[in-house]
A and B are shown apart, each in its own frame.
Chain A
């Protein structure tokens, strides 16, 4: 067997968390896909930024709360989470309104580092352009 092929995957999330099944399905695919040791990142655009909002509590809806599962992404080596600044601004949100997601960097003495990065649409366009595979939810 030769060296495994490692491709750059980006999961682009554009839907709000509760009204449709997109966000949950996307998160599940990312967690499953993480097992294949590819270079994975996620982008949160449009209503997708709402997936990362703090204090989500679905108890009153009597449905499972998936928001805490975003905290597990770091343990699955998914720690590049890009949030489009323009999408936040259009919704009156700032980085302080989002969950604090972190990962432990194995290349830097397991230091805890932030996973979320707010990027401009120009930066995000560059990131999209450099991927091998784009998956949309």
Chain B
């Protein structure tokens, strides 16, 4: 199962809820303002680094670029994907849950 999250973790609890209700081994893709969750040194980095060990954590590359977030700023264990990767995740999983 694929979970997508599109809200900043500093503004909404969508990511927290996703992490609470996703099953171990699920795919989680951070898009739009949720990509900030994947950056190092924030108040949620520890939670996200832990999540990267329980889930397959992905971040959408174009949303990083548009926000000026470099790959060197990302937490270890999260993989950057492009739009084709997003489509692949959506089609290879049996369903998609969007945490808005």
Contacts and interface: CB of A to CB of B under 8 A. Distances in A.
Interface residues of A, number: 24
A57 B68 contact: yes
**Chain A contact residues, majority secondary structure:** loop
B42 A18 contact: no
**Chain B contact residues, majority secondary structure:** loop
Give the interface centre of A19, A46, A55 by most chain B CB atoms within 10 Å.
Answer: A19
A19 B32 contact: yes
A91 B43 CA distance: 6
B33 A18 contact: yes
B42 A47 contact: no
9 contacts: A18-B33, A55-B68, A59-B65, A60-B62, A60-B65, A61-B63, A90-B10, A90-B42, A91-B42
Given A16-B36, A17-B67, 7 more contacts: A19-B8, A47-B11, A56-B66, A57-B68, A65-B66, A91-B39, A92-B42
